[in-house]
Amino acid sequence: MIEVTQLTRIFRTYKKQPGFWGGVKGLFRREFEETAAAKDISFSIREGEFVGFLGPNGAGKTTTLKMLSGLIYPTSGTARVAGFDPTRRENAYRRIFALVMGQKNQLWWDLPAIESFHLLRAIYGLPADQFKTTLDELVALLGVEKKLNVMVRELSLGERMKMELIAALLHRPRVLFLDEPTIGLDVVSQKAVRQFLRDYNRRYRVTILLTSHYMADIKELCERVIVIHKGRKIYDGALDRLETAGGARKKIITFVPAGTFPDGWQSRYGTTDRGEDGKYTLRVPGENVVAVSQEVLSAGPVVDITIEDVPLEDVIAELFSAQ
């Protein structure tokens, strides 16, 4: 469904010298700086896949989505979405994809959402019966029946995002680009949006490419992730294998000693930290979990001991630092 080959986008920005004379010098001689927002990115996504697109701020995620949407042109490389070249901006292509950006609105601010929906119906030339069926289904799935006639500016952030999703899906796109759709939402709204996207993807096999800084979004929705850093792709594969992308899989063992425990105790298998509350935290290779547990219990009595995976956020941060 999506085929990207050596996609590159370089932005050329003017570097103004500080002060008045710096501005005067810029009239005669200008210095420019080139920044590669995306550099030689290649990947392919099958129909119906729900793929996470990860990276730190400025990594090039939004730039890549904009190139796939035809909003900006790549400096070099090619992209094909459902057989279309996004740079040609054909009407037929615009009818089969949608882009939702968590920090930008497509609905009219001073009108009820239903008015914007009718406008979109006219833009896409949707038959009245198809429009009504789709709208009723989406409204019911997102539970916003009572908010359709409320001014968009009077909606909460979560309600507004639900309306944005409805607007994006009215024409039944085959491809959906989501750029941080849950940003700023409360826990309840995030859960509702994630549940909707999961159900919609399974029901209609829509191909979805999702960027998000909330790891809960990625873990609950995506089986595959693409990670980019400084404009380059550094990982593409299953989410459950991401933990080993930067090295051996690690575990976190925490325990609270009961009474006395040897001063300065350290594990032989990994790093050991002791908090002010007396709790020990160990980061150890996964294959040494049993040995470390035995080591802890033989050192002295403990009140509680837990073993858990390293948080996905820490895994990705470690992957970035290694680049």
Burial 229-240 (b: 16+ CB within 10 A, else e): bbbbbbbbeebe
Please state which of the ranges 112-116, 188-192, 201-205, 257-261 shows the lowest mean pLDDT. Answer: 257-261
Which residues does 196 contact at the CB level (< 8 Å), separation at least 6? Answer: 141, 142, 162, 165
pLDDT given for residue 320 in this prediction:
65
What are the structural domains, with CATH classification, of the chain? 2-243 (3.40.50.300), 247-321 (3.30.70)
At 157-183, the pLDDT tens digits run: 888 989 999 999 999 999 999 998 888
Q: What are the Cα distances from residue 26, in Å, to 14, 17, 22? A: 9, 7, 6
State pLDDT tens for residues 187-246. 888 888 899 999 999 999 999 999 988 888 888 899 899 988 888 888 888 887 776 655
Q: Over 80: is that where the pLDDT of 302 sits?
A: yes
Question: Please, what is the angle between helix 128-142 and helix 157-169, to 10°?
Answer: 150
pLDDT at 75: 92
Q: Quick one: pLDDT at residue 289?
A: 87
28: pLDDT confidence band, cut at 50, 70 and 90? confident
What is the pLDDT averaged over residues 87-96? 92
